Amino acid sequence: MYARGERSAAEGERAEPAAARAAVGGPAAGLRALQRAAGNAAVARAVVQRSAVDEVLGGTGRPLDASTRADMEQRLGADFGDVRLHTGSAANASAAEVGALAFTSGNHIVLGPGAGDRHTLAHELTHVVQQRRGPVAGTDRGDGVRISDPSDRFEREAEETARRVL
């Protein structure tokens, strides 16, 4: 027996399929239907789920150590006082997510497993300099993070610069 206004899940599905409920009320109705089906907590987790890239770039990282910073500033002719390095498990997951050994976003350098060598650091610091000059080439993943192609001019420049300065 049902209280007034209630009906079984089966009756509700027959009377009003999920697709029809979502279509009538637009995205908000679809979200409400999903909340009814999966629960508020599950929907909240899905809505706020952040990528590993977001997680690592949202962290503070650490500055370059003084001797490395001085050496690379002299070699590359730039100030790296604002550069933040990200290492560890979050950085590893982030690098894996974008399919890279290491990557740079603004003044944040993310080093994945095995990416702590001087050549990789010089390459990524070159990307810091490039990004300070303005937008660089890359394919947007849909979340604002742009992934470069190994053959684009920015990657070639970073690789050539790392080889030249070391």
The yes-or-no verdict on residue 21 having pLDDT over 80 is: no
What average pLDDT does the chain have? Answer: 83
Q: Would the pLDDT of 14 be above 90?
A: no
pTM: 0.71
Provide the pLDDT for residue 138: 87
- Cβ neighbors of 62 (< 8 A, separation 6 or more) are 84, 85, 86, 87
Q: Structural domain boundaries of the chain?
A: 9-48, 52-165
96 in the Ramachandran plot: left (φ > 0), alpha (ψ -120 to 50) or beta?
Answer: alpha
Q: Does the structure show a pLDDT above 90 at 125?
A: yes
Nearest partner of 92 among 67, 68, 110, judged by Cα: 110
Residue of 112, 108, 13, 97 whose CA lies nearest to 64? 108
Judged against a pLDDT cut of 90, whether residue 50 lies above it is answered with: no
> pLDDT higher for 91 or 13?
91
Tokens of 47: 């809505």
DSSP 107: T
